């Protein structure tokens, strides 16, 4: 059963600084929540680089290859039409559609991978929502959560969070 120790901060800089200190102390399972993007929090938590660019690149390359192949097959092989004696398969005239298919698939792959992969959207619940006050994370408060399986560590984590300046500390249990 997972436990989440939550600490709330009123100032963004204090939250980033606390995250940096906790990370430096080697606390595992850290995460941060804030109503708007916090500068420096990625560096403070040393989060791994985002995977979104890679997904976009792969999607875009599929779009480019697919878009070009589609035009080559339709204009050059399946149904060639002679227009003013131009070659049925013209490389340059295929570029705009190829480009746009690349953009389309890149965007669609970001959209769907985010919704179903990164946000895991059909799941609308997260254990930290057990804390009634956690809703201020989307208003005006900054939260740091520490995830742990081990109940004996909870008290120590509460102390550590208090030491780095958390205003109030909650512990929530994952509902079973």
- Give the footprint of other proteins on this chain (CB under 8 A): 11, 13-14, 17, 37, 39-40, 84, 86, 90, 92-93, 95-96, 165
Smaller CB distance to other proteins: residue 29 or 40?
40
Instruction: Output the smallest distance, CB 11 to other proteins, in A.
Output: 5
Instruction: Output the smallest distance, CB 153 to other proteins, in A.
Output: 25
Instruction: Output the smallest distance, CB 5 to other proteins, in A.
Output: 19
Smaller CB distance to other proteins: residue 11 or 114?
11
CA distance 131 to 136: 10
- How many helices (H) and strands (E) in the chain? 5, 4
Smaller CB distance to other proteins: residue 140 or 151?
140
8 Å CB contact between 64 and 100: no
CA distance 146 to 136: 17
Is the four-CA dihedral 158, 161, 165, 166 of positive or negative sign? Answer: negative
Instruction: Output the smallest distance, CB 103 to other proteins, in A.
Output: 12
| Helix axis angle, 154-163 to 12-24, nearest 10° | 130
Smaller CB distance to other proteins: residue 13 or 46?
13
Instruction: Output the smallest distance, CB 130 to other proteins, in A.
Output: 27
Spell out the residues 6+ positions from residue 80 whose beta carbon is closer than 8 angstroms to its own: 88, 89
CA distance 153 to 160: 11
Smaller CB distance to other proteins: residue 97 or 108?
97
């Amino acid at each position: 059963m997972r436990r989440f120790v939550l600490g709330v901060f009123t100032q963004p800089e204090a939250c980033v600084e606390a995250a940096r200190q906790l990370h430096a102390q080697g606390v595992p399972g850290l995460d941060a929540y804030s109503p708007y993007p916090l500068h420096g929090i990625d560096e403070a938590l040393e989060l791994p680089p985002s995977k979104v660019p890679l997904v976009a690149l792969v999607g875009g390359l599929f779009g480019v290859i697919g878009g070009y192949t589609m035009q080559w097959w339709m204009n050059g092989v399946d149904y060639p039409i002679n227009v003013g004696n131009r070659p049925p398969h013209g490389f340059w005239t295929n570029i705009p559609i190829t480009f746009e298919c690349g953009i389309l698939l890149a965007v669609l792959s970001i959209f769907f991978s985010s919704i179903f992969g990164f946000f895991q959207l059909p799941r609308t619940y997260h254990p930290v929502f057990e804390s009634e006050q956690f809703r201020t994370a989307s208003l005006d408060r900054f939260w740091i959560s520490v995830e742990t399986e081990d109940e004996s560590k909870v008290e120590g984590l509460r102390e550590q969070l208090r030491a780095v300046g958390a205003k109030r500390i909650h512990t929530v249990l994952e509902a079973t």
